[in-house]
Protein backbone atom coordinates (compact mmCIF):
# COMPACT_ATOMS: atom_id res chain seq x y z
CA UNK A 1 0.00 0.00 0.00
CA UNK A 2 2.96 2.35 -0.34
CA UNK A 3 2.83 3.53 -3.93
CA UNK A 4 1.09 6.79 -4.66
CA UNK A 5 -1.27 5.22 -7.18
CA UNK A 6 -2.58 2.68 -4.66
CA UNK A 7 -3.07 5.42 -2.07
CA UNK A 8 -5.19 7.43 -4.49
CA UNK A 9 -7.23 4.29 -5.11
CA UNK A 10 -7.90 3.85 -1.38
CA UNK A 11 -8.93 7.49 -1.15
CA UNK A 12 -11.49 7.19 -3.92
CA UNK A 13 -12.87 3.89 -2.65
CA UNK A 14 -13.20 5.37 0.84
CA UNK A 15 -15.00 8.38 -0.61
CA UNK A 16 -17.43 6.10 -2.41
CA UNK A 17 -18.16 3.66 0.44
CA UNK A 18 -17.54 5.76 3.55
CA UNK A 19 -18.60 9.31 2.65
CA UNK A 20 -18.79 10.01 6.39
CA UNK A 21 -15.03 10.65 6.37
CA UNK A 22 -13.99 14.14 5.21
CA UNK A 23 -10.95 14.93 7.32
CA UNK A 24 -7.96 14.91 4.93
CA UNK A 25 -5.44 14.00 7.62
CA UNK A 26 -7.53 11.00 8.71
CA UNK A 27 -8.07 9.85 5.14
CA UNK A 28 -4.34 10.18 4.41
CA UNK A 29 -3.49 8.08 7.49
CA UNK A 30 -6.04 5.46 6.50
CA UNK A 31 -4.66 5.31 2.97
CA UNK A 32 -1.11 4.96 4.31
CA UNK A 33 -1.77 2.32 7.00
CA UNK A 34 -4.63 0.27 5.55
CA UNK A 35 -4.32 -3.09 3.81
CA UNK A 36 -6.66 -4.66 1.26
CA UNK A 37 -8.28 -8.00 2.07
CA UNK A 38 -10.25 -10.24 -0.27
CA UNK A 39 -12.05 -13.38 0.85
CA UNK A 40 -13.71 -16.19 -1.02
CA UNK A 41 -17.25 -17.24 -0.20
CA UNK A 42 -17.58 -18.97 3.20
CA UNK A 43 -13.98 -18.22 4.17
CA UNK A 44 -13.56 -17.57 7.91
CA UNK A 45 -12.27 -14.04 8.52
CA UNK A 46 -12.16 -14.11 12.33
CA UNK A 47 -12.97 -17.18 14.44
CA UNK A 48 -14.20 -17.35 18.04
CA UNK A 49 -11.35 -16.71 20.45
CA UNK A 50 -9.04 -15.07 17.90
CA UNK A 51 -7.57 -11.64 18.47
CA UNK A 52 -8.51 -9.54 15.44
CA UNK A 53 -5.66 -7.36 14.17
CA UNK A 54 -7.47 -5.41 11.47
CA UNK A 55 -10.69 -3.39 11.60
CA UNK A 56 -12.66 -4.15 8.43
CA UNK A 57 -14.23 -1.32 6.44
CA UNK A 58 -16.41 -3.38 4.10
CA UNK A 59 -16.33 -2.21 0.46
CA UNK A 60 -17.77 -5.20 -1.41
CA UNK A 61 -19.83 -8.32 -0.61
CA UNK A 62 -20.88 -8.95 2.96
CA UNK A 63 -19.57 -10.42 6.22
CA UNK A 64 -21.79 -12.74 8.22
CA UNK A 65 -21.50 -12.44 12.00
CA UNK A 66 -22.63 -15.39 14.10
CA UNK A 67 -22.48 -16.75 17.62
CA UNK A 68 -21.92 -20.33 18.87
CA UNK A 69 -22.55 -22.28 22.04
CA UNK A 70 -20.18 -24.82 23.62
CA UNK A 71 -21.80 -27.76 21.87
CA UNK A 72 -21.29 -26.48 18.33
CA UNK A 73 -24.72 -24.83 18.03
CA UNK A 74 -24.58 -21.66 15.97
CA UNK A 75 -26.89 -18.70 15.52
CA UNK A 76 -26.88 -15.95 12.91
CA UNK A 77 -26.55 -12.45 14.37
CA UNK A 78 -26.35 -10.00 11.45
CA UNK A 79 -24.61 -9.04 8.21
CA UNK A 80 -22.07 -6.28 7.64
CA UNK A 81 -22.56 -4.60 4.28
CA UNK A 82 -20.39 -2.15 2.28
CA UNK A 83 -20.13 1.12 4.20
CA UNK A 84 -20.12 -0.69 7.55
CA UNK A 85 -17.53 -1.88 10.03
CA UNK A 86 -17.59 -4.39 12.88
CA UNK A 87 -18.36 -3.03 16.35
CA UNK A 88 -17.22 -6.29 17.94
CA UNK A 89 -13.83 -6.00 16.28
CA UNK A 90 -13.53 -2.32 17.18
CA UNK A 91 -14.34 -3.17 20.76
CA UNK A 92 -12.00 -6.18 20.89
CA UNK A 93 -9.19 -3.99 19.58
CA UNK A 94 -9.83 -1.14 22.01
CA UNK A 95 -10.01 -3.31 25.15
CA UNK A 96 -7.63 -6.06 23.90
CA UNK A 97 -9.77 -9.19 24.13
CA UNK A 98 -10.52 -12.13 21.86
CA UNK A 99 -13.52 -12.26 19.55
CA UNK A 100 -16.77 -13.69 20.91
CA UNK A 101 -18.32 -13.95 17.47
CA UNK A 102 -17.37 -15.54 14.17
CA UNK A 103 -17.03 -13.56 10.93
CA UNK A 104 -17.45 -15.35 7.60
CA UNK A 105 -17.26 -13.93 4.08
CA UNK A 106 -20.64 -14.30 2.40
CA UNK A 107 -19.73 -13.60 -1.22
CA UNK A 108 -16.54 -12.28 -2.87
CA UNK A 109 -16.02 -10.02 0.12
CA UNK A 110 -13.52 -7.16 0.07
CA UNK A 111 -12.58 -4.80 2.83
CA UNK A 112 -10.04 -2.24 3.81
CA UNK A 113 -8.33 -3.35 7.03
CA UNK A 114 -7.26 -0.64 9.45
CA UNK A 115 -4.47 -1.60 11.90
CA UNK A 116 -5.66 -1.95 15.51
CA UNK A 117 -2.56 -0.23 16.88
CA UNK A 118 -3.59 3.09 15.28
CA UNK A 119 -7.07 3.24 16.79
CA UNK A 120 -6.36 4.65 20.27
CA UNK A 121 -4.49 7.56 18.70
CA UNK A 122 -7.23 8.17 16.08
CA UNK A 123 -9.82 8.19 18.89
CA UNK A 124 -7.98 11.13 20.43
CA UNK A 125 -7.01 12.93 17.27
CA UNK A 126 -10.11 12.78 15.05
CA UNK A 127 -13.66 13.83 15.94
CA UNK A 128 -14.85 12.01 12.84
CA UNK A 129 -13.28 8.72 13.88
CA UNK A 130 -14.68 9.00 17.41
CA UNK A 131 -18.14 9.70 16.02
CA UNK A 132 -17.88 6.82 13.53
CA UNK A 133 -16.91 4.46 16.38
CA UNK A 134 -19.85 5.54 18.53
CA UNK A 135 -22.33 5.29 15.65
CA UNK A 136 -20.99 1.82 14.89
CA UNK A 137 -21.46 0.72 18.50
CA UNK A 138 -24.98 2.11 18.37
CA UNK A 139 -25.89 0.28 15.14
CA UNK A 140 -24.57 -3.01 16.48
CA UNK A 141 -26.53 -2.65 19.72
CA UNK A 142 -29.58 -2.23 17.57
CA UNK A 143 -28.65 -5.34 15.58
CA UNK A 144 -28.18 -7.39 18.74
CA UNK A 145 -31.47 -6.12 20.19
CA UNK A 146 -33.19 -6.97 16.90
CA UNK A 147 -31.73 -10.49 17.13
CA UNK A 148 -33.05 -10.81 20.68
CA UNK A 149 -36.46 -9.54 19.53
CA UNK A 150 -36.46 -12.06 16.71
CA UNK A 151 -35.53 -15.03 18.87
CA UNK A 152 -37.75 -14.07 21.78
CA UNK A 153 -40.80 -12.65 20.04
CA UNK A 154 -40.91 -13.68 16.38
CA UNK A 155 -42.16 -16.94 15.02
CA UNK A 156 -39.61 -19.13 13.25
CA UNK A 157 -41.28 -18.62 9.84
CA UNK A 158 -40.82 -14.83 10.11
CA UNK A 159 -37.20 -15.28 11.16
CA UNK A 160 -36.61 -17.64 8.24
CA UNK A 161 -38.09 -15.19 5.74
CA UNK A 162 -36.07 -12.30 7.21
CA UNK A 163 -32.87 -14.37 7.01
CA UNK A 164 -33.59 -15.11 3.34
CA UNK A 165 -34.18 -11.40 2.68
CA UNK A 166 -30.91 -10.51 4.46
CA UNK A 167 -29.11 -13.09 2.34
CA UNK A 168 -30.55 -11.73 -0.87
CA UNK A 169 -29.29 -8.25 0.06
CA UNK A 170 -25.88 -9.65 1.08
CA UNK A 171 -25.57 -11.60 -2.16
CA UNK A 172 -27.06 -8.93 -4.39
CA UNK A 173 -29.54 -11.38 -5.91
CA UNK A 174 -32.87 -12.88 -4.90
CA UNK A 175 -31.80 -16.32 -6.13
CA UNK A 176 -30.05 -17.84 -3.16
CA UNK A 177 -27.98 -21.00 -3.34
CA UNK A 178 -28.38 -22.53 0.09
CA UNK A 179 -29.33 -25.86 1.62
CA UNK A 180 -32.15 -26.36 4.10
CA UNK A 181 -29.57 -27.87 6.45
CA UNK A 182 -27.42 -24.70 6.56
CA UNK A 183 -30.51 -22.50 7.08
CA UNK A 184 -31.47 -24.79 9.97
CA UNK A 185 -28.00 -24.36 11.50
CA UNK A 186 -28.11 -20.58 11.24
CA UNK A 187 -31.49 -20.47 12.98
CA UNK A 188 -30.56 -23.22 15.47
CA UNK A 189 -33.46 -25.33 14.28
CA UNK A 190 -33.75 -28.70 12.50
CA UNK A 191 -33.68 -29.42 8.76
CA UNK A 192 -37.14 -31.00 8.92
CA UNK A 193 -38.72 -27.91 10.53
CA UNK A 194 -37.04 -25.56 8.03
CA UNK A 195 -38.15 -27.66 5.04
CA UNK A 196 -41.73 -27.63 6.33
CA UNK A 197 -41.69 -23.85 6.87
CA UNK A 198 -40.17 -23.25 3.42
CA UNK A 199 -43.03 -25.22 1.86
CA UNK A 200 -45.52 -23.05 3.77
CA UNK A 201 -43.73 -19.90 2.58
CA UNK A 202 -43.86 -21.22 -0.99
CA UNK A 203 -47.59 -21.90 -0.67
CA UNK A 204 -48.28 -18.24 0.26
CA UNK A 205 -46.03 -16.97 -2.56
CA UNK A 206 -43.14 -15.63 -0.48
CA UNK A 207 -40.48 -17.95 -2.02
CA UNK A 208 -40.00 -20.42 -4.84
CA UNK A 209 -38.06 -23.59 -4.10
CA UNK A 210 -35.81 -25.55 -6.43
CA UNK A 211 -32.86 -27.88 -5.91
CA UNK A 212 -30.32 -26.15 -3.55
CA UNK A 213 -31.76 -22.77 -4.57
CA UNK A 214 -34.44 -20.53 -3.12
CA UNK A 215 -35.88 -17.53 -4.96
CA UNK A 216 -37.16 -14.83 -2.61
CA UNK A 217 -40.08 -12.66 -3.73
CA UNK A 218 -39.06 -9.27 -2.37
CA UNK A 219 -42.06 -7.41 -3.76
CA UNK B 1 -24.79 19.07 45.21
CA UNK B 2 -23.01 22.38 45.74
CA UNK B 3 -22.02 22.35 49.40
CA UNK B 4 -18.53 21.19 50.22
CA UNK B 5 -19.76 18.45 52.55
CA UNK B 6 -21.94 16.86 49.87
CA UNK B 7 -19.08 17.01 47.37
CA UNK B 8 -16.81 15.17 49.77
CA UNK B 9 -19.56 12.59 50.17
CA UNK B 10 -19.74 12.04 46.41
CA UNK B 11 -15.96 11.67 46.28
CA UNK B 12 -15.88 8.99 48.96
CA UNK B 13 -18.85 7.09 47.49
CA UNK B 14 -17.20 7.20 44.06
CA UNK B 15 -13.97 5.90 45.58
CA UNK B 16 -15.84 3.02 47.19
CA UNK B 17 -18.01 2.00 44.21
CA UNK B 18 -15.95 3.10 41.22
CA UNK B 19 -12.28 2.65 42.25
CA UNK B 20 -11.44 2.75 38.54
CA UNK B 21 -11.48 6.57 38.70
CA UNK B 22 -8.28 8.16 40.04
CA UNK B 23 -7.98 11.39 38.08
CA UNK B 24 -8.62 14.20 40.57
CA UNK B 25 -9.87 16.64 37.92
CA UNK B 26 -12.41 14.10 36.62
CA UNK B 27 -13.58 13.19 40.15
CA UNK B 28 -13.95 16.89 41.01
CA UNK B 29 -16.05 17.49 37.89
CA UNK B 30 -18.21 14.47 38.66
CA UNK B 31 -18.73 15.66 42.24
CA UNK B 32 -19.65 19.14 41.02
CA UNK B 33 -22.04 18.15 38.21
CA UNK B 34 -23.60 14.90 39.45
CA UNK B 35 -27.00 14.53 41.07
CA UNK B 36 -28.23 11.83 43.45
CA UNK B 37 -31.19 9.71 42.45
CA UNK B 38 -33.14 7.28 44.64
CA UNK B 39 -35.86 5.00 43.32
CA UNK B 40 -38.39 2.79 45.03
CA UNK B 41 -38.76 -0.85 44.05
CA UNK B 42 -40.28 -1.33 40.56
CA UNK B 43 -40.16 2.39 39.74
CA UNK B 44 -39.44 3.08 36.05
CA UNK B 45 -36.18 5.00 35.64
CA UNK B 46 -36.15 5.25 31.83
CA UNK B 47 -38.96 4.01 29.58
CA UNK B 48 -38.79 2.91 25.92
CA UNK B 49 -38.59 5.94 23.65
CA UNK B 50 -37.48 8.38 26.35
CA UNK B 51 -34.34 10.47 25.97
CA UNK B 52 -32.20 9.78 29.03
CA UNK B 53 -30.61 12.91 30.50
CA UNK B 54 -28.44 11.35 33.21
CA UNK B 55 -25.89 8.56 33.05
CA UNK B 56 -26.40 6.35 36.10
CA UNK B 57 -23.40 5.23 38.17
CA UNK B 58 -25.13 2.61 40.34
CA UNK B 59 -24.12 2.75 44.02
CA UNK B 60 -26.86 0.72 45.71
CA UNK B 61 -29.54 -1.81 44.73
CA UNK B 62 -29.84 -2.81 41.10
CA UNK B 63 -31.40 -1.65 37.82
CA UNK B 64 -33.23 -4.17 35.64
CA UNK B 65 -32.86 -3.65 31.89
CA UNK B 66 -35.49 -5.21 29.65
CA UNK B 67 -36.75 -5.14 26.08
CA UNK B 68 -40.32 -5.17 24.73
CA UNK B 69 -42.02 -6.01 21.47
CA UNK B 70 -44.87 -4.07 19.88
CA UNK B 71 -47.56 -6.23 21.45
CA UNK B 72 -46.49 -5.64 25.05
CA UNK B 73 -44.30 -8.75 25.31
CA UNK B 74 -41.26 -8.15 27.47
CA UNK B 75 -37.96 -9.92 27.95
CA UNK B 76 -35.33 -9.54 30.67
CA UNK B 77 -31.89 -8.55 29.36
CA UNK B 78 -29.60 -8.02 32.39
CA UNK B 79 -29.08 -6.28 35.73
CA UNK B 80 -26.84 -3.31 36.48
CA UNK B 81 -25.21 -3.64 39.90
CA UNK B 82 -23.24 -1.16 42.07
CA UNK B 83 -20.02 -0.21 40.31
CA UNK B 84 -21.68 -0.41 36.88
CA UNK B 85 -23.23 2.03 34.44
CA UNK B 86 -25.60 1.65 31.49
CA UNK B 87 -24.00 1.28 28.05
CA UNK B 88 -27.37 1.90 26.37
CA UNK B 89 -27.73 5.20 28.17
CA UNK B 90 -24.14 6.21 27.43
CA UNK B 91 -24.71 5.41 23.78
CA UNK B 92 -28.10 7.19 23.63
CA UNK B 93 -26.48 10.27 25.13
CA UNK B 94 -23.49 10.25 22.78
CA UNK B 95 -25.48 9.84 19.57
CA UNK B 96 -28.66 11.63 20.77
CA UNK B 97 -31.33 8.98 20.35
CA UNK B 98 -34.18 7.62 22.46
CA UNK B 99 -33.85 4.54 24.65
CA UNK B 100 -34.64 1.14 23.13
CA UNK B 101 -34.72 -0.58 26.48
CA UNK B 102 -36.57 -0.07 29.74
CA UNK B 103 -34.79 0.50 33.08
CA UNK B 104 -36.59 -0.37 36.31
CA UNK B 105 -35.34 -0.08 39.91
CA UNK B 106 -35.16 -3.54 41.45
CA UNK B 107 -34.78 -2.67 45.13
CA UNK B 108 -34.11 0.65 46.93
CA UNK B 109 -31.87 1.66 44.05
CA UNK B 110 -29.51 4.62 44.31
CA UNK B 111 -27.26 6.07 41.68
CA UNK B 112 -25.13 9.06 40.91
CA UNK B 113 -26.44 10.70 37.71
CA UNK B 114 -23.87 12.34 35.43
CA UNK B 115 -25.23 14.99 33.05
CA UNK B 116 -25.24 13.94 29.40
CA UNK B 117 -24.05 17.33 28.19
CA UNK B 118 -20.65 16.85 29.88
CA UNK B 119 -19.84 13.52 28.27
CA UNK B 120 -18.46 14.61 24.88
CA UNK B 121 -15.98 16.89 26.63
CA UNK B 122 -14.99 14.20 29.16
CA UNK B 123 -14.40 11.78 26.27
CA UNK B 124 -11.79 14.18 24.93
CA UNK B 125 -10.29 15.29 28.19
CA UNK B 126 -9.96 12.15 30.30
CA UNK B 127 -8.27 8.87 29.33
CA UNK B 128 -9.98 7.24 32.31
CA UNK B 129 -13.44 8.25 31.18
CA UNK B 130 -12.80 7.08 27.63
CA UNK B 131 -11.52 3.72 28.92
CA UNK B 132 -14.49 3.39 31.28
CA UNK B 133 -16.88 4.04 28.38
CA UNK B 134 -15.23 1.42 26.18
CA UNK B 135 -15.13 -1.18 28.98
CA UNK B 136 -18.81 -0.51 29.62
CA UNK B 137 -19.68 -1.03 25.95
CA UNK B 138 -17.71 -4.24 26.04
CA UNK B 139 -19.46 -5.57 29.18
CA UNK B 140 -22.87 -4.81 27.72
CA UNK B 141 -22.08 -6.54 24.43
CA UNK B 142 -21.18 -9.56 26.51
CA UNK B 143 -24.48 -9.26 28.40
CA UNK B 144 -26.46 -9.06 25.16
CA UNK B 145 -24.57 -12.00 23.67
CA UNK B 146 -25.23 -13.97 26.87
CA UNK B 147 -28.93 -13.14 26.52
CA UNK B 148 -28.88 -14.35 22.92
CA UNK B 149 -27.08 -17.54 24.03
CA UNK B 150 -29.65 -18.08 26.75
CA UNK B 151 -32.67 -17.60 24.50
CA UNK B 152 -31.22 -19.51 21.55
CA UNK B 153 -29.34 -22.33 23.24
CA UNK B 154 -30.47 -22.78 26.86
CA UNK B 155 -33.49 -24.64 28.04
CA UNK B 156 -36.16 -22.60 29.80
CA UNK B 157 -35.50 -24.27 33.17
CA UNK B 158 -31.84 -23.15 33.06
CA UNK B 159 -32.89 -19.61 32.12
CA UNK B 160 -35.41 -19.56 34.96
CA UNK B 161 -32.82 -20.70 37.51
CA UNK B 162 -30.30 -18.14 36.22
CA UNK B 163 -32.92 -15.37 36.45
CA UNK B 164 -33.65 -16.35 40.05
CA UNK B 165 -29.92 -16.31 40.84
CA UNK B 166 -29.56 -12.85 39.21
CA UNK B 167 -32.50 -11.63 41.28
CA UNK B 168 -31.03 -12.93 44.51
CA UNK B 169 -27.79 -11.04 43.77
CA UNK B 170 -29.74 -7.90 42.79
CA UNK B 171 -31.86 -8.05 45.96
CA UNK B 172 -29.03 -9.14 48.25
CA UNK B 173 -31.07 -12.09 49.59
CA UNK B 174 -31.90 -15.58 48.40
CA UNK B 175 -35.54 -15.20 49.54
CA UNK B 176 -37.22 -13.60 46.53
CA UNK B 177 -40.70 -12.14 46.64
CA UNK B 178 -41.99 -12.68 43.13
CA UNK B 179 -45.05 -14.15 41.43
CA UNK B 180 -44.94 -16.92 38.87
CA UNK B 181 -46.80 -14.54 36.54
CA UNK B 182 -44.06 -11.87 36.63
CA UNK B 183 -41.33 -14.49 36.09
CA UNK B 184 -43.31 -15.73 33.08
CA UNK B 185 -43.45 -12.17 31.70
CA UNK B 186 -39.71 -11.62 32.11
CA UNK B 187 -38.95 -14.86 30.26
CA UNK B 188 -41.71 -14.33 27.70
CA UNK B 189 -43.34 -17.60 28.69
CA UNK B 190 -46.67 -18.57 30.33
CA UNK B 191 -47.51 -18.77 34.05
CA UNK B 192 -48.45 -22.43 33.71
CA UNK B 193 -45.08 -23.39 32.18
CA UNK B 194 -43.13 -21.42 34.82
CA UNK B 195 -45.10 -23.00 37.67
CA UNK B 196 -44.39 -26.45 36.28
CA UNK B 197 -40.66 -25.72 35.90
CA UNK B 198 -40.47 -24.27 39.42
CA UNK B 199 -41.95 -27.48 40.82
CA UNK B 200 -39.32 -29.46 38.90
CA UNK B 201 -36.57 -27.19 40.29
CA UNK B 202 -38.00 -27.71 43.79
CA UNK B 203 -37.96 -31.48 43.32
CA UNK B 204 -34.22 -31.46 42.52
CA UNK B 205 -33.51 -29.15 45.47
CA UNK B 206 -32.62 -25.96 43.54
CA UNK B 207 -35.42 -23.83 45.06
CA UNK B 208 -38.05 -23.92 47.80
CA UNK B 209 -41.48 -22.54 46.98
CA UNK B 210 -43.91 -20.79 49.30
CA UNK B 211 -46.72 -18.27 48.76
CA UNK B 212 -45.37 -15.39 46.59
CA UNK B 213 -41.84 -16.25 47.70
CA UNK B 214 -39.08 -18.41 46.25
CA UNK B 215 -35.95 -19.36 48.17
CA UNK B 216 -32.98 -20.04 45.91
CA UNK B 217 -30.37 -22.57 47.02
CA UNK B 218 -27.18 -20.91 45.85
CA UNK B 219 -24.83 -23.60 47.24
Domain CATH for B176: 1.10.10.10
Q: Which residues of A146-163 are buried (b: 16+ CB within 10 A; e: fewer)?
A: ebbbbbbbeebbebbbeb
CA atoms within 13 A on the CB side of B188: 22
Q: What pLDDT, on the 0 to 100 scale, is given for residue B57?
A: 95
* Coil vs helix vs strand at A199: helix
C-alpha distances (whole Å) from B204 to each of B177, B201, B207, B208, B219 are 21, 5, 8, 10, 13
Question: Which CATH number characterizes residue A106's domain?
Answer: 2.60.120.10
Q: How many domains does chain A have?
A: 2
β-sheet bridge partners, residue A79: A64
**Test mutation, A152, A159, A184, chain B, max B CBs within 10 A:** A152
ipTM of this complex: 0.73
Of B71, B77, B137, nearest to A91 by CB-CB distance is B137
Same-domain pairing of A162 and A88? no
Evaluate whether B210 touches B187 at the Cβ level (below 8 Å).
Answer: no
CB nearest A75 (choices: B67, B87, B152): B152
Work out whether strand A109-115 and strand A54-60 pair parallel, antiparallel, or are unpaired.
antiparallel
- pLDDT of residue B51 exceeding 80, the answer is yes
Same structural domain for residues B53 and B161? no
Residues A8 and A75 in one domain: yes
CB atoms B67 and A137 under 8 Å: no
Are residues B137 and B165 located together in one domain of the fold?
A: no
- Mean model confidence pLDDT for chain A: 87
The total of other beta-carbon atoms located within 10 Å of residue B178's CB is 15
DSSP state of A217: -
Domain that includes residue B203, residue range: 155-216
pLDDT at site B3: 44
CB contact under 8 Å between B188 and A101, yes or no, is no
CB-based contact A138 B101, cutoff 8 Å:
no
- Residues of chain B with C-beta less than 8 angstroms from the C-beta of A100: 141-142, 145
Cβ of B141 within 8 Å of Cβ of A69? The answer is no
Instruction: Please indicate, yes or no, whether residues B144 and B163 belong to a single structural domain of this protein.
Output: no
User: Chain A partners of B137 at a C-beta cutoff of 8 Å?
Assistant: 91, 137
Phi, psi of B176 (to 5 degrees): -105, 125
CB pairs under 8 A between A and B: 85
pLDDT digits (tens, 9 = 90+) for A136-194: 888 888 888 888 888 887 888 888 999 999 989 888 889 999 999 889 888 888 888 89
User: Which of chain B's residues have a Cβ under 8 Å away from the Cβ of A73?
Assistant: 152-153
Asked whether residue B165 falls in the same domain as residue B146, the answer is: no
Do B34 and B126 have their domain in common? yes
A chain contacts of residue B130, beta-carbon cutoff 8 Å = 123
The per-residue pLDDT for range B28-49, each reduced to its tens digit, is: 999 999 999 999 888 999 998 8
Same domain, B148 and B49: yes
Average pLDDT over residues B73-99: 85
Are the C-beta atoms of B149 and A109 separated by less than 8 Å?
A: no
> Measuring CA to CA, which residue among B179, B171, B170, B218 is closest to residue B198?
B179
Amino acid sequence: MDTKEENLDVVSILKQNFPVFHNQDLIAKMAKEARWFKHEKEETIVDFGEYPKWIPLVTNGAIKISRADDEGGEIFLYYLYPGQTCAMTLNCCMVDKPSEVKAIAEEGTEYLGLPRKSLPQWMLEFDEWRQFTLETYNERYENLLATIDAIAFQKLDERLLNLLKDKSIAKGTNEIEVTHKSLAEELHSSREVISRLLKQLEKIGKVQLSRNKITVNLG
